[in-house]
Structure 1
Amino acid sequence: MIAQEHKRGELLIAWAQGALLLIWSALYALAPRALPSQAFESVPWTLAAYGAFIIVRLILIYQNRLADWHVALSIIVDIGVLMLLIWSFHLQYGQPPAFYLKAPTLLYVFIFIALRTLSFEARWVLLAGAVSAAGWSALLLYAIVAQSDNPPVTHDYVHYMNSSSILLGAEFDKIVSILMVTAVLALALRRTQQLVLRCVVDHAAANELSRFVARGLAQRIARAEAPIEPGQAELRSAAALVIDLRDFTRISRRLTPREVMQLLGEYQRRVIPLVQRSGGFIDKFLGDGILASFGAVIVNETYAADALRAVDAIASELETWRATRIEAGLVAPSFGLAVSTGDVLFGAVGDSTRLEYTIIGDAVNFGARLEKHSKIERVTAVTDSATFELARSQGYASTERWRFRLGREIAGVDYPVDLAVLIEEAGRSSNGPRLSVAATV
C-alpha cells in the first residue's frame, strides 16, 4: 500500500511538471525578444530536453523502476531548468545580468518545493529547498561577478527598484524565504507522517481489538475521548442470547486437550458469524457457553426479532454440524439456546487495571435459567412468550418448529412462565400446540 501511494505521489508530481512545461513554453512563445532572429536560443532546447526528461520519468514510474537517485536527480533538474530560464531573461531582453534577479518567475521554486510534499517524504522537500536556495545564490553571484567593472550592488532601495542594480538585502530575503518555507513544509509533513502513523497504529489496534471484543465495541473504545472508567453504564432495551453445549464437561474428560479445542473451534466458527449476521454482538465466551447481545452495543428497534432469527439460523447450523460429526464417528454434543429480553445495563466492569464491557440485568440471568431449563423441556431452544410476541411485533416470522408450553416452573423463578420452545427436527411430535403467525398465548 505504501509503495502504491508513493507511486501515485510521483505520478502527480510528474504530471504537474508537464503542466509547468506547457505554461513555460506558452509564455516563452508569447514573450518579446531582443535577440537577433538568427541568434541561437537556448530556451527551446532546454524546454525540449526537460520534456524528454519528464517522459522518461513517467515511464520509470509506470514500470515501478523509479529509484531514490532518480527522484533526487528530478529535483535538481526541475530547479536547474527554472534557474536557466530565469538566467536567460537578461539575454532575451538585452539587459545586464542583474535584470533577471527581479523576475517574478522565481516564485515557481515554491511550486516545486510544495510538489515534493506529494511524495510524503520530508527529505525531498528539504532537498528541493536546498537546491533552490543554492541555485538562486549562484544566479546572484553570477550577476555580481558578470558586472565586476561596474559593480551593480546598491544600498539605495529606490535606486534598486528603478534600475538593474542589486540590493543584497532583498536577495537574502528571497533565499531566507525559500529556506523558511522549506523548513515549515518539511516540519508540517513530518508531523503529518507522525499523525498518520498514529492513526494507522490506532486503526490496527482497533482491528486487533475487534478480535477480542465486538467490532462496534472496539470502535467505541478506540474513539473514546476520555479514559473509560469502571461503573460507566447505559440502560438499554436489549435481548440476551445464551448458547451452550450440553454435558461438555463430561465429554471433555474423554477427549485430549487438542480434540477439546478442535471441538470448541468448530462450534464457535459456526455460531459467531450467524450471531453477527443477525445484528448481534458476542459479549463473552464462558468455556463452551456463549453470551451474545442484541440492541446493547448498538441500539436498534428489532433486537428481539434479530435474536430469534439468530436462534433459527444457529439451531439449523448446529444440527447439521452434529449430524456431520456423528456420521464421521466423532463426539457430537447436543446444544441449547435461550433468548430473553428486557432492560439491561451495558457498560464497563472491573477496575482500572482490568476492564470488561458486558451486559448486566435480570434479562441476562433469566436467559441463563431458560437455557438450563431447555434440558428439562428436551428442546433445542427456548424463550418466554413475552419475548416471542415482542419479536413478532418487530417483524419476526416464526417457523412451525416453535411451540407454546404454558405455565412452566423454572428453577430460580418464583412464578410460572409461559414458554415458546424450538423443537428439533426429529422431535416434532413433542407436546404443545404449534405456533402460527396468528397464535396467541
Structure 2
Amino acid sequence: MMSPFQQTVLHILRGGPPETGIPDRVRAEIRAREATSERLIGWIQLGLVLFFTTLYAIAPRAEGSAGFNFVPFALGAYFLFTVLRLFLSYRFELPRWYLLISIGVDMALLVGLIFSFHIQYNQHPTFYLKTPTLMYVFIFIGLRALRFDPRFVLTTGLVAMAGWLGLVFYAALADMDHMRVTRNYVEYLTGNTILIGAELDKTIVILAVTIILSVALYRGRSMLIEATREHAAATDLRRFFAPEVAASITGADTALQAGEGSLREAAILYADIRSFTGTSATLPPETVLAVLAEYQNLAVEVINQEGGRVDKFLGDGILATFGAVHPSQTYAADALKAASRLVAAVEANQEAFRAAGWPVSLRVGTAVAAGPVTVGVIGSRNRLEFTVIGDAVNRAAKLEDANKVQKSKALTDRATWELARAQGYREPAAEERPAISVAGVERPLDLVVFAD
C-alpha cells in the first residue's frame, strides 16, 4: 500500500492524477487543450528564436572571440526545427515521443551552445561555467509548464540538470595534469577554475525549480481535469434546462437546496400529441423516438422563438413557461402566439412526420393559462428538480385535457385571453364557450378556442 506522498510522486511521473472515471468526451477536451498548448509553445519558441536572432544580428560583437562561432548555425538549425514542430502541431496531435525529442533538442541546443564558448574564445572548458546563458534553461522549463503536464517539466529539468553536470565534469576532467578545482571564491570568479559548491548551487536551483513547478502543475492538472469535467457537465446541463435556469444553477453562490424559489407572473403552455400511446404501441421503439425527436425539435424552436422556455418533456407532452425563468411584459401574449404557431407548424410538417414513420396524421392539443407561479427547486437532499408550481400550471394541464372533450386544438380561459389581449395579442378568437365545466377545476370556466 503506497503512502499519499508515494502516490503523488507516481502521479507526477505519469503526468497527473489518474483519469479513471472521466468520460471520453472530457478526455477528448483535455487532449484538445493540450494540443492548443503545444501550438502556443511552438509559437513562443519561434518568437524567441526570432528575437534572439534579431538581437544577435544588431548587437555589437563581444571582443576576444577568435575561434569558430557556432551561434548563427545553432540559431538557424533551431529555427528550422521550431518551424517544423509548429507545422506538425497543426497537422496532428504530437505524440509523446516527439515531445521528448523536442525537449532533447532544446537542451542539446543550449548545452551545445554553452560548450562551444570555450572553443570560440580559445579558453579552458572551465570558461563556459561562468556564462549567463545557463539562465535560458528556465525559459525552456517554463515553456513546458504551459502544457499543464508535470512529466514534461520534470523531464526538461532533469535533462537540463544532467546536461549541466556533464559540462561541469568535462571541465573538471579536461585537464587532469593541471586540476582546475578551487575553494577560493575570488579565484573562481577571476580565473578559469571550478568551485564545486557554486556548480552544485546552480544544479540545486535547476532541480528545485523543476520540482516546484512539477508539483504545482500536478495540482493545476488536477484542477484542470475537474474544471473540464464540470465544464462538460455544465454544457450538458444547458441541454436539459433553459439557458437561464442552467446559468442560475451553475452560477449559484451557494449550493441549491429544496424549497428555494420566487413568485413570478407567468403563462404556462401545455402541448400533447393526440392518440400517441395507442399509435406508438404498434410501432418499433426507434420509430417512436424518431417521430418524437422530429416533433420536439419543431416545438422547442417555436417556443423559443416566442420567448418561452421548455420546463420539461412529459413523454409526448411538453410543459413550457413564459415569464417564469426571466420576467416578461408580454408573457400571456407570447404563450398564445407560441401555442397557435405550434398547431400550425405541426399541420405544415406532416410530411416530415410520415418520413419519420408516423402512420397517421400527427395532431396536437395545446392550452395556455396565466397567473402567479412559484419558480424554484423541489425534491430531496440528493435529488433536486427545477420547476414551476401554481394554479396556472394545474389549470393549463386541465385545459389541455379539455381539448379532447371540446374537440379543439388550442384552449385558454377568458382571464388569460383578456390578459394576452392587453399585452398585444391581436389574433381573433375562433370561438368563445362560457361556463364550461372542466375536469379537475372546481368552478366552470369561460373557455376561448384560439386556434382551429
Q: TM-score range by the shorter chain?
A: 0.7 to 0.9
Matched, 1:422 2:450: yes
**Unmatched tracts of structure 2, length 5 or more:** 1-28
Letter in 1 for 2:376: G
Match of 2:110 among 82, 87, 106: 82
Tell me: CA distance 1:59–1:236, structure 2 relative to 1, closer, same or farther (3 Å). closer
Quote the Cα distance in structure 2 between the aligned partners of 1:18 and 1:247: 67
User: Among residues 356, 365, 381, which one is paired with 2:385 in the alignment?
Assistant: 356
Alpha-carbon distance between aligned partners in 1 of 2:385 and 2:35, rounded to the nearest angstrom = 43
Q: TM-score, normalised by structure 1?
A: 0.80
Rounded to whole Å, the distance in 1 between the matches of 2:365 and 2:117 is: 88
Name 1:436's counterpart in structure 2. none
Task: Give, as a single letter, the amino acid of the residue that structure 1 aligns with 2:72.
Answer: P
Aligned partners of 1:238, 1:224: CA distance in 2, in Å?
Answer: 23
Q: 1:290 aligns with which of 307, 311, 318?
A: 318
Asked whether the equivalents of residues 268 and 320 of structure 2 are also in contact (C-alpha less than 8 Å), the reply is: yes
Q: Deviations over 1:149-196 (max 9, x none)?
A: 444434444554454443322222221221222223233333333323
RCO comparison, higher one (Cα < 8 Å, 6+): 2
Matched residue, 1:146: 174
Q: Could you tell me whether the CA contact under 8 Å between 1:340 and 1:366 is conserved in 2? A: yes
Alignment partners' CA distance in 2, 1:168 and 1:326:
86
AA partner of residue 178 (structure 1)? I
Cα shift at 1:361: 0.9
Counterparts of 1:99 and 1:254 in 2: how far apart (Å)? Answer: 89
Contact 1:381–1:421 (CA under 8 A) maintained in structure 2: yes
Alignment of 1:235 with 2:241, yes or no, is: no
Q: Identify the match of residue 33 of structure 1 among 41, 60, 63.
A: 63
Quote how far apart the aligned CAs of 1:20 are.
3.4
Is the partner of 1:228 in helix, strand or coil?
Answer: coil
CA distance in 2 between counterparts of 1:229 and 1:4 reads 35
Question: What does residue 222 of structure 2 align with?
Answer: 194
Q: Aligned partner of 1:181: which letter?
A: V
Does the 8 A contact of 1:336 with 1:374 survive in 2?
A: yes
Task: Specify whether residues 393 and 149 from structure 1 end up closer, same or farther in structure 2 by C-alpha distance, changes over 3 A only.
Answer: farther
Deviation at 1:80, TM superposition (A): 1.7
Q: Residue type matched to 2:144 in 1?
A: R
Say whether the 8 Å CA contact 2:350–2:362 is kept in structure 1: yes
1:340 is paired with a residue of what secondary structure?
Answer: strand
* Aligned equivalent of 1:180: 208
* Bigger-Rg structure (1/2): 1
Equivalent residues in 2 for 1:11-410, closer than 5 Å: 11-25=39-53, 26-27=55-56, 30-36=60-66, 39-64=67-92, 66-246=94-274, 251-252=278-279, 255=282, 258=285, 264=292, 266-321=294-349, 330-332=359-361, 334-394=363-423, 396-400=424-428, 402=430, 404-405=432-433, 410=438
When structure 1 is superposed on structure 2, of 101-110 and 289-298 the one drifting more is 289-298
TM-superposed deviation, 1:218: 3.8
Contact 1:280–1:293 (CA under 8 A) maintained in structure 2: yes
Quick check: 223-232 or 304-313, which moved more?
A: 223-232
- Opposite residue 330 of structure 2, the aligned amino acid is T
> What runs of 5+ residues in structure 1 fail to find an aligned partner?
425-441
Looking at structure 1, the residues matched to 414 and 334 of structure 2 have their Cα atoms a distance apart, in angstroms, of 16
Aligned alpha-carbon RMSD (Å):
3.6
- Do 1:33 and 1:92's aligned partners in 2 also have CA atoms closer than 8 Å? no
Q: Which amino acid aligns with 1:140?
A: V
Change (3 A) 1:378 1:323: farther
On the 8 A contact 1:245/1:335 being kept in 2, the answer is yes
- Aligned with 2:326: secondary structure? coil
- Quote the offset at 1:113 in angstroms: 1.2
- The answer to whether the 8 A contact 1:230-1:355 is kept is yes
Task: Report if the CA contact (8 A) 1:11-1:58 is conserved.
Answer: yes
Kept in 1: contact 2:340–2:451 (CA 8 A): no
CA displacement at 1:261 relative to structure 2: 5.8
Instruction: Identify if the C-alpha distance between structure 1 residues 91 and 348 changes in structure 2 by more than 3 Å, giving closer, same or farther.
Output: same
Aligned equivalents of 1:303 and 1:345: distance in 2?
Answer: 15
| Distance in 2 (alpha carbons) for counterparts of 1:140 and 1:325 | 79
1:203-225 deviation line (CA, Å, top 9, x unaligned): 33334444544454344434445
2:9 match: none
CA deviation profile, 1:410-431 (whole Å, cap 9, x unmatched):
555566655443131xxxxxxx
Is the 8 Å Cα contact of residues 35 and 93 (structure 2) preserved in structure 1?
Answer: no
Kept in 2, the 8 Å contact 1:244–1:290? The answer is yes
Once residues 333 and 99 of structure 1 are traced to their aligned partners in structure 2, the CA distance between those partners, rounded to angstroms, is 89
> 1:304-337 CA distances to partner (integer Å, 9 max, x unpaired)?
2321221121111233356987999944464322
Relative distance call for 1:398 and 1:319 in structure 2 (3 A) is farther
Q: Which amino acid aligns with 2:198?
A: A
Q: Return the offset for 1:45.
A: 3.4
* Cα shift at 1:133: 0.6
Counterpart residue identity of residue 127, structure 2: F
| 3-state SS in 1 of match to 2:181 | coil
- Measure, in 1, the Cα distance between the counterparts of 2:65 and 2:283: 95
- Once the two structures are superposed, residues 264-316 of structure 1 have per-residue CA deviations (whole angstroms, 9 ceiling, x without a partner) of 55543432332233332322344443222122233444322321221121111
Please say if residues 303 and 310 of structure 2, whose CA atoms lie closer than 8 Å, have aligned partners that are also in contact. Answer: yes
Structure 2 length normalisation: TM-score? 0.78
**Contact 2:353–2:362 (CA under 8 A) maintained in structure 1:** no
Task: Check conservation: 2:346, 2:362, Cα contact below 8 A.
Answer: no
Counterparts in 2 of 1:46 and 1:232: CA distance versus 1, 3 Å: closer
Amino acid at match of 1:32: A
1:125 Cα deviation after fit: 1.7
